[in-house]
Structure 1
């Protein structure tokens, strides 16, 4: 479960991490009222689950009332990378002289949590990790003992943080790890952690992603979950009960089982395509669930073609075929070409049932993926 920035900052602030004065707003009037209460200049920030909000026009600075109104009018209601902005965070602008990055996540290769610090804050940390990996100091933590104070200090000094603020940054990093551990988080980040001319540090952004399977231990965080649906596709996935992840490509993918879907994603990439989503309909999927899956993928405006990869164990190929037929026959026009590959339980029966006037059928997964990639290229 992904928290919004304003939700994560509330958690961070309660734990003692400094954050700017802020207020949540859902209208132009509320933005202006909040800005005048906080005092100009302010930042108006779209609250959606995407990165790069500033570059996409989702964050604006306002020096006065007119600029606050203009920022609110341009951001509220905008489409930001497929998400409709319904809420904005209005917060006091930070007069900073430097930007840092601090974060905690799980290093699955090492089988341990890892705390990270970098003096290259305020930019895409993934790009920093790829282009200049030495710019990120890392310290692995034994979860049985937690983060020792010396580990936080070592990570900060290894990153080259100025000695005047090093202890404060180490304190924030320690608190961040404690939150990561206590809240059953998968990721906890501050990017940027701003440094002011008075050598104070302020969390200008906040990321806190929680393991959904652990929400029963955190009823206060579970109450925030409904607010995490900013996108119609995410909301629809929640209603249908799907594991759905939206990606940046245009080849829609539907499969039964996480491993099967991941294999299909890899093959789309291997054959030169770009996956548009991860959609696992699960084992034992009936016709209605398959129909809902197609509705999901057809609702994604980025999708130019669809590939079905079904291997029947619990899931029966004839049930899947019925669902595909029902979904497509109910439409006046099929919005995207659909390629189907069926294997396993009742696959032959399913192949006989499929309406080949509505779908393209391939015998192997490789052929199905290649055809879907070709279809996507033709639709562009």
Structure 2
């Protein structure tokens, strides 16, 4: 589950991780008031307005139809209000959103941390995630933080450092010191960084994060280390341990069909192809998607209805797949181990009759328990549904449907 910057920062503060402070705002008037509070609290005439969407590259992104960036600085209440007015309700297009962009419903008005002082400021990069290959958590960091970190990773991979952490032992003190040393820090900044990294790792573990990214990790002119931006992803499978965090989910940032699928406990991911597929089991779903590609089609989705597929889940799957105008055919591939194929077949027939007006080919492959009875039900239904027993048969029918 992805979080907005302002949500992630509030969680980090509970673990004593220093962050760039600010206020989440839904209206220009709230943004104006937030500026006044920031000026009172921190004594700066400047504040930063940041669009809150689940995507990176906001600083370089633009609001559709204007030159307004997703991140902008204002030096008085009027400017902050105007910037917020230009961003809120607009569609922000960044390198990560794709051409369609995302609608901005909130902005984060934050304190200015780029103030002058006795020492130079510096931007770093730091993230923590799971390295599945090594079966350990890894802290990735670089002296080259900021908006161009992707380019740094591509052109100068030698500037990206990695520190692996055994999940049983946790981040050890010498590892935190090593990270601070490799970032070129010394004195108070070194001590602050060691504490920052340690607390951030504790937050990563304590919140059951799948990933936490701080970019930039910032050294102020007075040697403080703070998180200016934070991208956080929580492990959905661990939310049962954090019921309070489930309320942070913002479904307006998610694909509507994926949200609907979740209501029926369907594992659904929308893709860009022309063949909708409905399968029980993730492994079989992946194999089915491969088969669709080999047959000349492109998968329009990943849809796993689980091991207990029934008429209700089949109908819900149909509704979700048919919402995609690109779909030219639907392939249902069910292996009847726990579930009986004849029950799934009846579910397909019932759903077809209930939905009506399905004008695209539907191919059903049912194999396993009561597969023959299932094929008979499909063949005698009188509906425009083609049945197959072998995977090769289903492949030929898919090829014919999309040709």
Q: Give the TM-score category using the shorter length.
A: 0.7 to 0.9
Q: Is structure 2 residue 4 aligned with structure 1 residue 4?
A: yes
1:254 aligns with one of 264, 278, 295: 278
The higher radius of gyration belongs to 2
Q: Following TM superposition, by how much is the alpha carbon of 1:283 offset from its aligned partner in structure 2, in angstroms?
A: 0.9
Q: Do 2:88 and 2:107's aligned partners in 1 also have CA atoms closer than 8 Å?
A: no
Equivalent residue pairs, number: 371
Q: Following TM superposition, by how much is the alpha carbon of 1:125 offset from its aligned partner in structure 2, in angstroms?
A: 6.5
CA distance in 2, matches of 1:38, 1:281: 49
CA distance in 1, matches of 2:193, 2:129: 17
CA distance in 1, matches of 2:145, 2:112: 14
CA distance in 2, matches of 1:293, 1:304: 16
Q: Following TM superposition, by how much is the alpha carbon of 1:287 offset from its aligned partner in structure 2, in angstroms?
A: 1.0
Q: Following TM superposition, by how much is the alpha carbon of 1:11 offset from its aligned partner in structure 2, in angstroms?
A: 0.6
For residues 252-293 of structure 1, give each alpha carbon's deviation from its aligned partner in whole angstroms, at most 9, with x where no partner exists: 332111222233344556667654433211112111111111
The more displaced of 55-64 and 277-286 is 55-64
Q: Following TM superposition, by how much is the alpha carbon of 1:211 offset from its aligned partner in structure 2, in angstroms?
A: 3.0
Q: Following TM superposition, by how much is the alpha carbon of 1:367 offset from its aligned partner in structure 2, in angstroms?
A: 5.9
Q: Following TM superposition, by how much is the alpha carbon of 1:186 offset from its aligned partner in structure 2, in angstroms?
A: 2.1
Q: Which consecutive residues of structure 1, in runs of 5 or more, have no partner in the other structure?
A: none
1:121 aligns with one of 145, 154, 163: 145
Q: Which consecutive residues of structure 2, in runs of 5 or more, have no partner in the other structure?
A: 40-45, 64-69, 115-120
Q: Following TM superposition, by how much is the alpha carbon of 1:325 offset from its aligned partner in structure 2, in angstroms?
A: 3.0
2:176 aligns with one of 152, 157, 165: 152
For residues 307-359 of structure 1, give each alpha carbon's deviation from its aligned partner in whole angstroms, at most 9, with x where no partner exists: 32211111222222233333333345337654433222222333333368544
Q: Quick one: structure 1 residues 108 and 220, their matched pair in 2 at CA, closer, same or farther if it must change by over 3 Å?
A: same
CA distance in 2, matches of 1:198, 1:369: 65
**Residues 227-376 of structure 1 mapped to structure 2, 5 A cutoff:** 227-228=250-251, 230-231=253-254, 232-247=256-271, 251-268=275-292, 275-300=299-324, 305-331=329-355, 333-334=357-358, 337-354=361-378, 358-365=384-391, 368=394, 372=398
Q: Quick one: structure 1 residues 271 and 37, their matched pair in 2 at CA, closer, same or farther if it must change by over 3 Å?
A: farther
Q: Following TM superposition, by how much is the alpha carbon of 1:220 offset from its aligned partner in structure 2, in angstroms?
A: 2.8
Q: Is structure 2 residue 48 aligned with structure 1 residue 42?
A: yes
CA distance in 1, matches of 2:395, 2:49: 45
For residues 15-67 of structure 1, give each alpha carbon's deviation from its aligned partner in whole angstroms, at most 9, with x where no partner exists: 222222322233444344435544654223133x4455556646242531323
**Residues 64-213 of structure 1 mapped to structure 2, 5 A cutoff:** 64=79, 65-75=81-91, 85=103, 87-92=105-110, 98-122=122-146, 132-158=156-182, 160-163=183-186, 165-213=189-237
Q: Quick one: structure 1 residues 139 and 272, their matched pair in 2 at CA, closer, same or farther if it must change by over 3 Å?
A: farther
CA distance in 2, matches of 1:228, 1:62: 28
For the aligned residues, what is the CA RMSD? 3.7
The more displaced of 267-276 and 37-46 is 267-276
Q: Is structure 2 residue 235 aligned with structure 1 residue 217?
A: no
Q: Following TM superposition, by how much is the alpha carbon of 1:147 offset from its aligned partner in structure 2, in angstroms?
A: 0.6
What is the TM-score of this pair, normalised by structure 2?
Answer: 0.76
What is the TM-score of this pair, normalised by structure 1?
Answer: 0.80
1:220 match: secondary structure? coil
Q: Quick one: structure 1 residues 223 and 95, their matched pair in 2 at CA, closer, same or farther if it must change by over 3 Å?
A: closer
Q: Quick one: structure 1 residues 364 and 153, their matched pair in 2 at CA, closer, same or farther if it must change by over 3 Å?
A: farther
Partner of 1:61: 72
The more displaced of 101-110 and 211-220 is 211-220
CA distance in 1, matches of 2:369, 2:148: 46
